[in-house]
Structure 1
Amino acid sequence: MTLNVLMLSTLFPDMSRPNFGVFVERQARELASRDGVRVTVVAPLGIPPWPLSKAKRYAALRALPAKERWKDLTVHRPVFPIIPKFGGRFNVHGMTRAILPLVRRLHAQQPFDVIDASFFFPDGPVAQRLSRALGIPYSVKARGADIHYWGTRRGTRKMVKRAADDAAGLLAVSNAMRRSMARMGIDAEKIRVHYTGVDLDRFEISDRAAAKESLGFEGPVVLCVGALIPRKGQELLVRALPHLPGVTLLFAGQGQYRRALERQAEELGVDRRIGFLGSVPHDRLPRIYAAADVMALPSSSEGLANAWVEALACGTPVVISDVGGARELLDRPEAGLIVAREPEALADAISAILTNPPDREAVREAALRFTWTANGDALLEHLRAIAAQRS
């Protein structure tokens, strides 16, 4: 019997943003590859009213097709109105109004058995409303900021909590995330830990010296992979760099925080030892991980960062803060160090790894349990159980 899944995700790649939510896309493709499973993706696009919609970033979204085949997935991209910077709490209503007619039509053509919402906000409350309108059970996955940020804000925390209460099942990217959800009053018995996956054939150990030479890097390299936003803590790495003579710091990611980091580097006199790689295509990341001696990401909050797992799969140890699933991931000393979010502590940890680098095969061992096969198996079992409750 076919399981017909509606996957709802506000974070999904498109032609203008190929790196946007690649892990959600990969999870969707893994699920859709299973026998007896049909996956339809609804990836809504938030676009502000005219004249703000004429801005370059929104013009690219407006040009996207309303429906397309994206890497063997059927993806619908309905548009809903947003108010940039100020309208987050209103997105649930606007998105529901925009996509309900589409989902109602698709459901009439081939009934959905379950809704899989990729994030808690706004996806979770929207899934809740679709469920009420169409009688389809739903699940929501908590990944990080959707709980730590939207789940604590005055205007949205009640919506997050209600979406959790009404869901037939819940997922969390780590045990630490599950505990955070329970502290909010969410029923822990409903929450299943669902670890991310990594493509172990693509993210693998390769010659570090050759990778550095091909990319034009010299000497010790510290890599930070993540959006350039304050929560990721990149400024702490810039402040650590004066304590790490001869080390090059590379940022893979983009964001409005870049200019502030550039100014900070200039003030500290380390700007010539920092490189901004911008948004790196996902298929080019393994080469950059391979060239790095350490991957550092001192975030103030995380679920279980994909960048952590990808680095380990490439045999690159990590230096990270004690957030989210950090302690679940680093299950052996070779994998890296968990440190305080302080420049001196980061510098000491990075220096220790550079001085005494661990065996790269031992580092990779920490990532081997994070496969997309295991991810897909767990998700399929979870969604089938929810669909079975309905029958």
Structure 2
Amino acid sequence: MLFLGCTYAGHKTRFANLRRHVATDERIEPTFRPVEGWNDNGLIERMTWAPKPVRGRARAVVSARAFAAIPRPDVLWSAASEVLLPHLWAQTGPLSRPLILDLDWTLAQQEELAPIYFGREPKKGLRRTFAEMQERAVFSRVSLFTPWSRWAADGLRERGVEERRIVELPPGIDLDEWQPRPELSAPGEPGPLRVLFVGGDFARKGGEILLEVAAAMKDEIVVDIVTRDDVSPRPGVRVHRAEANTPELHALYASADIFVLPTRAECFGIATIEAMASALPVIVGDVGGARSIVSDGVNGWLIRPNAEGLAGALREALANRPRLIEMGAAGRRRAERSFDGSRNDNAIVELALSLASGSPVLTPAESRI
């Protein structure tokens, strides 16, 4: 079985978790191939006469060439739909194999979020037509879609994908690694609320909104920010560099009272489910697939991604600190029920085996996800 995964943003963490969970599954012989968008020492990257985005796309297409490898695998899994078009010849005639496509949005949803996500206007005219043709060509070769959220699944339905080809299956995390801290804060503990933000793309994920609120609430909250972007520390705000699944990152979750991600554009949010597994209540921008993760008022708050929305939720949290432990526990239960990485990734293997054998594919309810 070939696993062709992406190495950017949350997809990098998702692919690493999937690999860890299925690599030793004796029912399959897995091959893992990452799709990379850049290689500093590569020939493509040295072609400086071409625009950098073009070189990046070319590198990704080359990285995905395992999709068309011969001899063919029995089943393919991919999260890299945008670079499969040049390799689709391998999904024709006797070469065709069952294909599972893992995705967190559709083209229409991507273009709706493009101004915030990519800093550009949505594609129009011939560019949009070509992109839709490419999506249609790839989708026509897919046996089964595993969207991460109800939002992404609805996007597929709007695109005309039949219900029988959709199994909503969110990425999971290792719940043994992501645990509540041994001693939770006592109800009503005095002192500032300890706030954690984890987001690589600082501006898109609402980091500037958090800084504005932190300045206005400097006597009420202290903030830890984890990001790859350059952010200057300031009174009451500490900035960290921490890679996914590292002891440093785990320690930051363990020392927090609440997790915030006032994101302006988001498909899912793996950092949010890490927070829930750590028994932290969460405050998340009500965009994209957030509603598949957060139950407003139960395990956190869904907010309008602006300073007013974030400040309002934080003040409500401050006024009801004993309730935060209850909300965190609800988040942990939700993570155990829906985001157990070992169980969810095992379901991918079960789906692959069903496709390979020609057996009926289980629905999400039947597969207990």
Q: TM-score range with shorter-chain normalisation?
A: 0.7 to 0.9
Whichever residue aligns with residue 329 of structure 2, its letter is: E
1:201 alignment partner in structure 2: 176
- 1:192 aligned to 2:167? yes
1:32 alignment partner in structure 2: 23
Deviation of 1:202 (Å): 1.3
2:277 alignment partner in structure 1: 313
Correspondence for 1:241 among 208, 214, 219: 214
Deviation of 1:290 (Å): 1.5
Contact 1:120 1:147 in 2 (8 A): no
Question: Identity across aligned pairs (percent)?
Answer: 20
Provide the aligned length of Structure 1 versus Structure 2: 329
CA 376–45 in structure 1, closer or farther in 2 if over 3 Å, else same:
closer
1:43 alignment partner in structure 2: 34
CA 96–340 in structure 1, closer or farther in 2 if over 3 Å, else same:
closer
CA 150–127 in structure 1, closer or farther in 2 if over 3 Å, else same:
farther
How far, CA to CA, are the matches of 1:336 and 1:104 in structure 2? 44
CA offsets 1:180-237 (integer angstroms, 9 cap, x no match): 2323444444221011212111111113569xxxxxxx84221111112432121111
Deviation of 1:113 (Å): 0.7
How far, CA to CA, are the matches of 1:147 and 1:279 in structure 2? 33
1:367 alignment partner in structure 2: 335
Contact 1:253 1:277 in 2 (8 A): yes
CA 228–136 in structure 1, closer or farther in 2 if over 3 Å, else same:
same
Correspondence for 2:238 among 264, 270, 275: 275
CA offsets 1:151-177 (integer angstroms, 9 cap, x no match): 964363432232123211111001111
CA 98–299 in structure 1, closer or farther in 2 if over 3 Å, else same:
closer
Segment drifting more, 193-202 vs 311-320:
193-202
Larger strand percent:
1
2:91 alignment partner in structure 1: 131
1:338 alignment partner in structure 2: 302
Correspondence for 1:7 among 3, 6, 23: 3
Contact 2:195 2:224 in 1 (8 A): yes
1:387 alignment partner in structure 2: 356
After TM superposition, the structure 1 = structure 2 runs for residues 289-300 of structure 1, keeping only pairs within 5 Å, are: 289-300=253-264
Whichever residue aligns with residue 199 of structure 1, its letter is: D
CA 99–168 in structure 1, closer or farther in 2 if over 3 Å, else same:
same
2:288 alignment partner in structure 1: 324
How far, CA to CA, are the matches of 2:357 and 2:107 in structure 1? 28
2:228 alignment partner in structure 1: 254
Whichever residue aligns with residue 238 of structure 1, its letter is: L
Deviation of 1:104 (Å): 5.8
Segment drifting more, 314-323 vs 143-152:
143-152
SS in structure 1 at match of 2:29: strand
Contact 1:27 1:375 in 2 (8 A): no
Contact 1:176 1:325 in 2 (8 A): yes
Deviation of 1:142 (Å): 0.9
Whichever residue aligns with residue 238 of structure 2, its letter is: G
Deviation of 1:129 (Å): 4.3
1:168 alignment partner in structure 2: 143
SS in structure 1 at match of 2:85: helix
CA 224–37 in structure 1, closer or farther in 2 if over 3 Å, else same:
same
CA 328–46 in structure 1, closer or farther in 2 if over 3 Å, else same:
closer
Whichever residue aligns with residue 212 of structure 2, its letter is: R
Contact 1:315 1:363 in 2 (8 A): yes
After TM superposition, the structure 1 = structure 2 runs for residues 38-77 of structure 1, keeping only pairs within 5 Å, are: 38-47=29-38, 58-59=40-41
Deviation of 1:80 (Å): 6.2
Correspondence for 1:112 among 70, 73, 77: 73
In the alignment, structure 1 segments of 5+ residues that lack a partner are: 14-18, 48-52, 63-78, 211-217, 266-270
Deviation of 1:361 (Å): 2.8
